[in-house]
Amino acid sequence: MATIRDVAKHAGVSVATVSRVLNKTGYVHEDTRKKIEIAISELHYTPNEVARSLYKRKSRLIGLLLPDITNPFFPELARGVEDEMRENDFRIIFGNSDENTKKEKEYIQTFVQNNVVGVIASTNHPDTDTYRKLNIPVVFLDRTADNRPSVYADGREGGRLAALEMAARGSCQITVMQGPEHIRPAQDRYQGAVDELRKQGISFNVIKTSSFSFTEAGIWAKELFEYHPDTDGVIASNDIVATAVLHEALRLGKRVPEEVQIIGFDDIPLSSLLTPSLTTIRQPSYDMGRAAAGLLIQLIENENITHKSIQMPVTFTERDTTRKVEKHG
């Protein structure tokens, strides 16, 4: 790899001058600029980001920490982050935390060791030293932290919407699936749904689920129809669980949506390809990723910005696991 020195020698100037044209800083004669540009292209020179980063004590790298890219909700987020970052010439060091505090810490540490200029994290423990003592900007994505920049969807409203629409479509033996306790957005959804159901005086059952994994989803689904066989409406904690519930309902010979209605949460890409296609509360995941990246960039470029958070709207996305209804409301 050619260095700035090689370029300088090749062009017959000093490294300082080369540096000036590279960074468009200070004055440099048009002719020498030309010479230098020629030298650069002849030697295929590209600046060493590492040396740059060492001197300036900041890189063009950001850290992205997600629970598990294998969960279909996260690739959308990641892609949003990536696109926005790429357009602004930032690159991403990526890690999966598995919601494991130790892994989180390790990743955050190596992020810092690599001089990242900012971090986007989806964590259940934003209020720990791991993040609090970080002296670079952090944006929390999907999971919120009070008083810290974050981007998340309105889970409560989502839960409310799900309950509202399900009730409007005539289910009266509703089972609400309560997502993992340690995942705040899951609890928000749950609360939103429960509040609305109570408000409407509709009785309901609850099934607790402790993860969002594909393999376990099937278990909760079985449990649901075993404990509450008369269920005629399921508000699932997310689309993965909803998919498992749909699968199980059909396996049991129940007609969907005639006998059982199902509403998911997230709107992952495959939801629309299921049969029947899944009615769900949509989160704008890709846009959330982009928004988080945009916010982080602001924070990076403008230290003293008011710590703002962005709550994204959710939308009831009607498909075929719910019955049609006349315009209501």
Partner DNA sequence: TTGTACGCGTTATCAT
Partner DNA sequence: ATGATAACGCGTACAA
Binding mask 268-287 for a copy of itself (x = CB under 8 A): -xx-xxxx-x----------
Give 252's contacts (C-beta < 8 A, 6+ positions apart): 225
Evaluate the omega torsion of the peptide bond into residue 229 and state whether it is cis, within 30 degrees of 0.
Answer: no
Query: In whole angstroms, how close is the CB of 90 to a copy of itself at the nearest point?
Result: 10
Q: Which of 19, 101, 128, 311 binds DNA (CB under 7 A)?
A: 19
Which one-letter amino acid corresponds to residue 147?
A: N
Q: Which of 176, 183, 217, 260 binds a copy of itself (CB under 8 A)?
A: 217
Query: In whole angstroms, how close is the CB of 32 to DNA at the nearest point?
Result: 3
Residue 16 binds DNA (CB under 7 A): yes
Helical ranges in 43-168 per DSSP H:
49-56, 74-87, 101-113, 129-132, 155-168
Main-chain phi, psi angles of 263, to 5 degrees: -125, 130
Rounded to whole angstroms, how far apart are CA atoms 102 and 168? 45
Residue 69 binds a copy of itself (CB under 8 A): yes
Partner interacting with residue 32 (select from a copy of itself, DNA, none; CB below 5-8 Å by kind): DNA
Residue 112 binds DNA (CB under 7 A): no
Q: Read off the DSSP letter of residue 65.
A: E
Rounded to whole angstroms, how far apart are CA atoms 190 and 155? 8
Binding mask 29-58 for DNA (x = CB under 7 A): x-xxx-----------x-xx--xx-xxxx-
Count other C-beta atoms under 10 Å from residue 140's C-beta. 21
Partner interacting with residue 69 (select from DNA, a copy of itself, none; CB below 5-8 Å by kind): a copy of itself
**Footprint of DNA on this chain (CB under 7 A)?**
1, 3-5, 12-17, 19-20, 22-23, 25-29, 31-33, 45, 47-48, 51-52, 54-57
